[in-house]
Structures are given as C-alpha cells and as structure tokens.
Structure 1
Amino acid sequence: MTEFAPDAGFRKNRKLKDALLQHKALSKAGFSERLFGLLFSGLVYPQIWEDPDVDMAAMELCPQHRIVTIGSGGCNMLAYLSKDPARIDVVDLNPHHVALNRLKLAAFRHLPAHADVVRMFGMEEVETNSLSYDTFLLPNLDEATRCYWNTRTNMFGRRRIEVFNRNIYKTGLLGRFIGFGHLIARLHGVKLQEIAETRSLREQRQFFEDRIAPLFDKPLIRWMTSRKSSLFGLGIPPQQFDELASLSAGKSIAPVLCQRLEKLTCHFPLRENYFAWQAYTRRYPTVDEGILPTYLKSENYHAIRRNAGRVEVHHASFTELLAQKPANSVDRFVLLDAQDWMTDKQINELWAEITRTATQGARVIFRTAAEKSVIEGRLSETIHNQWTYLRERSQALNTQDRSAIYGGFHIYEKAA
C-alpha cells in the first residue's frame, strides 16, 4: 500500500506539481496553473463524474481482468468490482482522493450491511454515520487514512469524518462550485432544484429551455465563462479550458456549457440519472425518486463486498505505477480525462508504459473535454501503430454517458 501525506498541500505535493506545471511562475499561463493547483490540492470530487456503466460496457470486463484506474471519488472503482475483476490498482495524485477511496473500500468490507453503506454515501443528514465510522471502520483503516478522517479542520472542531453526518456532496471543490452555480441561478430568479418536480423527458426539456438555457445569455454568466479560473471549481485546468474554448466561436465557453447541460437535462429520464440529481438537487434521489449510483445499488452490494480486498490504492501517477509493473500484466486502463492536462512528452511516456504492460487485446478508455481523441497526432507512430481506435463503439457509448460533461469518449484496443 503506497503511503501518502494526508494533508499535503500543493506546494508540498511534488507529484501533483509535476503533473500540472508546464509554464514559468511569472507568466500568465504559469499563474493560472499554480492557482488551479492550489485549489486542486484539497478534496475535489466527492463523486466521480464519469458514467461507470459506460466504462464497463466499453471495457467488456471479465473476471480475469486486471485494471489500473484513476481514483477520483472512488465510485467507479467500486462499480467495477461488481464484475469480479481479478485485481484493481487505483492511482491518484490527490491525497484527499486516496483517503476517500480507502474509506469507501473499508465501508464495504466492514460496515454490517448494505443499508449502512447507503446511509454513509447515499443519504444526507444522517447524524449516526460518524458513530458507524468509529465503531466499524476506524479499527480497520491504515494509519494515514485514519489520521486524515480524524483530523479536526475547522473552527467548530469537527473531524473530517463528520461531513458524512451532513452531506459530503456539498463539500469539496466541485460541491462548492455547484453550490455557487445554484446561487448565480437564484440571482437570476431560477431555482434549479425545482427540476425534481418534473415527471417526464418532455417536462425536463421544457424546464431546460424555459429556465436553464436563458441563463447562458446573461452578461454576468458570459463574462464569468470567458475566464479560465471560472471553471477551476469543476476540476478543469487551464489546458482543458483551452480545449473547450476551441469549440466556441467567441471567448466565452457559455455555448459549450449550455450544450453539455442540455444533454444532462434532456437526454435521460431524471429518475435514471443520478448525475443530474447531484447537479440540480445536490443530493441523490430517494428510493421513490430514482436510482442510486451503480456502486450503491443493492444488486451489486455482495459482489463489491466480496471483491473489495482485490483493490490497492496508490498515491502515485499512472505512469509511475505502471513503471513498477511487469510486461503484459494489465488488461484494462482507465485514464478518465487526465490526458487533457498532459504535454506531448507526458502522453508518450504514459503510453509507452501502457503499451509495455498491456496484454494482447487490452483496452484503454478515456474522456476528453473536446470531441476528438487527444492522442491523435501526438502519440509516436511506433506506439500508435500498436493500438486500434474503436471509433464507432466510442461514439455510440459517448451518447449514453449520463454525466454529459465531456465532449468525447474513446476506446483503444491493443492490436494482435
């Protein structure tokens, strides 16, 4: 188990700095990168924003598969366990995400029942969650993770774990960004949470066209979305903002964001899309309102609990972990949107290790802010020729991604 510094800030987190910083500190681009790094050094994603059902369909997971994935909020790693993979290695440069992933794994292994897991990760205002942590999880955590969740971090002297007594999804960089978005909408007379009152796709579209879409024509919102720092709260670094801006005719990316929210709001029934519930109501649906995330569904509980011991969480970069693995030892690679941040050199170093460690028929999946695959035209010919881009399958699955915030979903398969 790779050790990590649970409270390492951006200045102390060399792994994160190496991944983010590409320009000199006194340059405009360098300042943006460092500002993003400071914000990104705390908890960013209480929930991962990639659809795990799309991931699993793309990977065609089988019981013998060995997976390496980026952790983020930990939801998808747990969902993959429902397919009985042989092993999952989780990597993340953010120590807060490392602690969250390890906590979620411990919860499945040591909380008494499925209902206890749902209360901790799927419900809000459950004041007994920290007591469940003390009773069942605390004795079973490694020292660094225990230290992280026991740390008292605010003026009220609360331990970090007590956020689960309230609503963790209102915290973290993303949770606060969504809350700020709700505030801006309210200033323009729109209560986003009222979408929960809709009962059909037709009503959802009407809500979007009447209340949400007009917000993107407001001067304040167009001004805000023309600034790179405005989307740092979504975990979108300067490089990824540039990718989104390339899709828009003007400086503002308001039209692109409006298009992505149209998909989130109108393409899937609300009761089937827990991503929309988090965006618009800042919570998960109740049993009567809709479905929970894949990892919290009752039908997946026993498989995840049984397989949780097959996961190891590392405070490391993807390339760093793969460099420690033998050749032909990994079947599936999940990169999320990390390559949007990378230089050509970093991408080629990553894919060199992916290619070395990949088994025959291995698959790599990732997402991009823009529509096109970020490795095309950037990956060396020698490496690129060893992989086949499953373009049609990628495009088909992209339309099914309920999170709706990415422009492209991509699948590459190791050529025979």
Structure 2
Amino acid sequence: MAHIRGGSRDSRAVVSRVAVTALPATVPAGSEAATRADFSLIRYAQCWEDADILLDALAIQPGDDCLSIGSAGDNALALLSRRPGRVVVIDLNPSQLACLELRVAAYRELEHAELLELIGSRPSGRRAALYQRCRSQLTAPVRAFWDGKSAEIAAGIGGAGKFERYFATFRHRILPLVHSRRKVEHLLRGGTREERETFYANEWDTWRWQLLFRIFFSRFVMGRMGRDPSFFRYVKGSVSDRFLARGRYATTTLNPAENPYLQWILTGAHPTALPFALRPENFEVIRAHLDRLEWHCEPMEAYLERAGERRFGAFNLSDIFEYISEENTHRLLERIVRSGKSGARLAYWNTLADRHRPEFMTDRLRSLPELSQALHARDKAFFYCAFVVEEVI
C-alpha cells in the first residue's frame, strides 16, 4: 500500500515504501478475476468511465469515506473533488496502481497545462522532462516501472495501455480505410442534434464503416488486441452490434464536441473536451486533497474482510462484476453492503454482462432504476449497455 500525505504542491510527499524493488509479476489470489486474466501489464492507461455521471450517482458528502476501483486512477482522483474523508483505491493489477501513483505525483509537481501534456491530451515535446520532475515522488518500484517506459512517456502516458493501443490501431489502420480526416473533424465538431443525425446517416454510416467496425470490434479481435479474452466469459450475444448501436448514440444523441472518450478514440488526444479529473476547474481541488488518497494492490474481497462494517459512504465499482459469475457477483455485493453506511451509494457499469442486485438482497440494497437510466442516457463513455446505481439500506 502506498499512502500519500501532504496536499500542497510545495510540501514533499511522505510515502510508505513497499517492501519490494519491482512491481510484482503476479497479483494476490482471492478473486475469480485474478485467476482468469493477466494483470501484469497496463490494461487501461485512462479510465474509460464517465466521472460526471459517477459523481452524480454517488452523491458524496464532505467527510465520506469512499471505496474505488483503481483502473488508471482518473476517477479515484475525481472523487477527491467532493472533499471526502478518505478515498481507498483497490486494484488487482500493480501496473494500474503505478498509473495512479504517477498521476498523483503529476498533480503534486506539475501545473495543469503540464499535466495535460504528460497525459497526452495536448501535444508536447518535453514529456520526458515533465516525468523527471514527478519521478522523486514515486516509490522505488513504481519509479523503476516508469523508468523502463520512456517510449510510453514520450508518447503520453494516457496511451500506454493495451486498450489504448487497440484504439490507436483502429485510428491509424482501420479508420482511414473508411473516413477521411475531414470527415472525422466534421463528426467531432458536433452541431445541433438534427445536423449530427443527418451527417451520421448520409456521410458516416456507410456499408464499409459497418463492415470494418463489426470485424474490428468483434469478440475475437477485442479479446486478442483490447481486453483479455477471459473478460468475455459471461458475455452473451453480438459484441460488435451492441457497440455499433452505442456508437451511433454517442455521435447523434450525444454531442461529440463534448465527448473526451470519443475524441481520444478518433484522434488520440482531447481537442475540445476533457474528462472530469483533467478539467482546469477541478485541478486545484484534487491537488489540495491528495492526502486523503490511499491504494492497495489486492482483491476487493480481501480488503473488505478487514475494512469493518458500516464504514463507506460511496463505492465506485467500475465494471468489476463484468468479469465474475453471477454467483460471485452476489457474494461480493453482500460483502460490500456490510461495509457500507446506511444511504451509501454503489455505482457500476455493465458492458455486456447483465449484473445488478439480486432479489434476495432487497432488504439490504435498494435499486435506483430511474436515476440509473437517466444517468446512463448522459454517459459519454458510450460503450456500456447499462449504468447501475444502488443504495445501502
């Protein structure tokens, strides 16, 4: 566990050093997901989940303790904007926590514009120098991890994951076969809803687009190049058809000019829209509350066993249930509910597997379907088929 203390930029971080000299090659046992997927690499160099709807769902009150899945750290950092008492971050993958630790160092050492350069949101020829300014804030294993990734740093750390490389392949090799740069720029300008729908129907949604999209975003190709194949274990139906429908929603019903996730997929940067944690208005409040963040590399089940009951007021669960069976989902939900205060909110995404509170937990966990559906309708990370919000009774 690394625990950062000291919220101001000028204070030096006091870091509890982990008792290893490199990131572990394996992850702790104790969860179904840990036994099925390879967690030795960066899978996600960004959080591909919309923090705007997450924060609205969780309704965090100042002083609340929050539990969050790590991923690349963006949404855990976004929770700090609500001035919680503590944000506890859990992830099975030490490489994902290395992404979070470097972000914490960047918020501490860099100015906002420099942070955007390091991430890759903005062009830069000095990312190596920016990293050197952050390096002293890292624990020894994480420093060694990033020291070995000079190419990824030079390109922007937001593109260093397997998932982002998958999108880069789509952007560089598939998209030019279908649409010109001019059409991509036109799509991302947005416009009125009527203009977006007309452009999509007449210019974008060609037979070539549909064909190559269905191939590249098929279960087989995504399993080989994007997500771990084991992540599709509980998925039923056509993966590409669902993503194609959600893509149309993101480019017509939602405004591409306001969508950082779509912009990164199509351009590899954030030309006109930023995720919540990277917006200038949120930078200082996140930096001021870095001392309230801690992280652990272990299964959530193991952490919850010692966390105590009725502690947490909010849970950012990412799409954790996507990768485990329905039975194990229910078992983990029971553990989570025991650690939640009355009124605590749970928020999580379903990509392709249907996961939600079981009927036998209705006396302990309340579903909030109207809120869930309203927030999902705004979800800029458009590839999820559902957003689930539930409340501890």
Question: What range is the shorter-chain TM-score in?
Answer: 0.7 to 0.9
Equivalent position SS for 1:85? coil
The number of aligned residues is 373
The answer to whether the 8 A contact 2:50-2:275 is kept is no
2:368 aligned with 1:390: yes
Task: Give the whole-Å Cα distance in 2 for the aligned partners of 1:392 and 1:269.
Answer: 23
2:59 aligned with 1:70: no
**Alignment partner, residue 117 of structure 2:** 119
Measured after TM superposition, the shift of residue 413 of structure 1 is 0.6
Unaligned runs of 5+ in 1: 22-32, 152-159, 247-251
Task: Give the whole-Å Cα distance in 1 for the aligned partners of 2:181 and 2:57.
Answer: 32
Measured after TM superposition, the shift of residue 130 of structure 1 is 2.0
The answer to whether the 8 A contact 1:390-1:413 is kept is yes
Counterpart pick for 1:168 among 157, 160, 164: 157
AA aligned opposite 2:381: S
**Alignment partner, residue 179 of structure 2:** 190
2:122 aligned with 1:130: no
The answer to whether the 8 A contact 1:192-1:281 is kept is no
Equivalent position SS for 1:140? coil
CA spacing shift, 1:223–1:82, aligned 2, 3 Å? closer
2:270 aligned with 1:284: yes
2:319 aligned with 1:337: yes
Measured after TM superposition, the shift of residue 356 of structure 1 is 1.6
Q: Which moved more, 1:383-392 or 1:178-187?
A: 178-187
TM-score under structure 1 length normalisation: 0.81
Measured after TM superposition, the shift of residue 278 of structure 1 is 0.7
What does the per-residue CA deviation read over 1:100-154, in whole Å, with 9 as the maximum and x for residues that have no partner? 101111111222x22222222253442322223223x222221221121112xxx
Task: Give the whole-Å Cα distance in 1 for the aligned partners of 2:126 and 2:252.
Answer: 36
Q: Write the mapping of 1:75-114 to structure 2, written as runs, cut at 5 A.
A: 75-111=74-110, 113-114=111-112
The answer to whether the 8 A contact 2:23-2:141 is kept is no
AA aligned opposite 2:117: R
The answer to whether the 8 A contact 1:185-1:192 is kept is no
2:169 aligned with 1:145: no
Measured after TM superposition, the shift of residue 308 of structure 1 is 0.9
Equivalent position SS for 1:312? strand
Counterpart pick for 1:375 among 319, 342, 356: 356
Q: Which moved more, 1:168-177 or 1:385-394?
A: 168-177
Q: Write the mapping of 1:222-237 to structure 2, written as runs, cut at 5 A.
A: 222=214, 227-235=219-227, 237=229
**Alignment partner, residue 6 of structure 2:** none
The answer to whether the 8 A contact 1:6-1:96 is kept is no
The answer to whether the 8 A contact 2:64-2:312 is kept is yes
Task: Give the whole-Å Cα distance in 2 for the aligned partners of 1:278 and 1:180.
Answer: 12
**Alignment partner, residue 30 of structure 1:** none
What does the per-residue CA deviation read over 1:196-226, in whole Å, with 9 as the maximum and x for residues that have no partner? 23431444434433334534542x6545655
**Alignment partner, residue 242 of structure 2:** 256
The answer to whether the 8 A contact 2:200-2:251 is kept is yes
Measured after TM superposition, the shift of residue 92 of structure 1 is 1.0
Q: Which moved more, 1:267-276 or 1:189-198?
A: 189-198
Q: Write the mapping of 1:355-370 to structure 2, written as runs, cut at 5 A.
A: 355-370=337-352
% same residue:
24
What does the per-residue CA deviation read over 1:19-40, in whole Å, with 9 as the maximum and x for residues that have no partner? 254xxxxxxxxxxx5xxx34x5
2:297 aligned with 1:315: yes
TM-score under structure 2 length normalisation: 0.85
CA spacing shift, 1:396–1:118, aligned 2, 3 Å? same
**Alignment partner, residue 13 of structure 1:** 27
- Higher RCO, 1 vs 2 (CA within 8 Å, ≥6 residues apart): 2
**Alignment partner, residue 208 of structure 1:** 200
What does the per-residue CA deviation read over 1:227-284, in whole Å, with 9 as the maximum and x for residues that have no partner? 44534544364454653x43xxxxx433212101112222222221111111111111
The answer to whether the 8 A contact 1:169-1:282 is kept is no
The answer to whether the 8 A contact 1:322-1:357 is kept is yes
What does the per-residue CA deviation read over 1:311-360, in whole Å, with 9 as the maximum and x for residues that have no partner? 01211122221212121111111111110111244223322321221111
The answer to whether the 8 A contact 2:256-2:262 is kept is yes
Task: Give the whole-Å Cα distance in 1 for the aligned partners of 2:390 and 2:175.
Answer: 43
CA spacing shift, 1:326–1:222, aligned 2, 3 Å? closer
AA aligned opposite 1:230: M
**Alignment partner, residue 25 of structure 1:** none
Equivalent position SS for 1:127? coil
The answer to whether the 8 A contact 1:122-1:296 is kept is no
Measured after TM superposition, the shift of residue 18 of structure 1 is 4.4
AA aligned opposite 1:19: A
Task: Give the whole-Å Cα distance in 2 for the aligned partners of 1:260 and 1:404.
Answer: 6
Q: Which moved more, 1:301-310 or 1:162-171?
A: 162-171
Measured after TM superposition, the shift of residue 41 of structure 1 is 3.2
The answer to whether the 8 A contact 1:91-1:313 is kept is yes
AA aligned opposite 2:356: I
Measured after TM superposition, the shift of residue 96 of structure 1 is 1.2
Measured after TM superposition, the shift of residue 5 of structure 1 is 7.8
Task: Give the whole-Å Cα distance in 1 for the aligned partners of 2:220 and 2:391.
Answer: 34
Task: Give the whole-Å Cα distance in 1 for the aligned partners of 2:31 and 2:220.
Answer: 19
AA aligned opposite 2:135: L
The answer to whether the 8 A contact 1:122-1:292 is kept is no
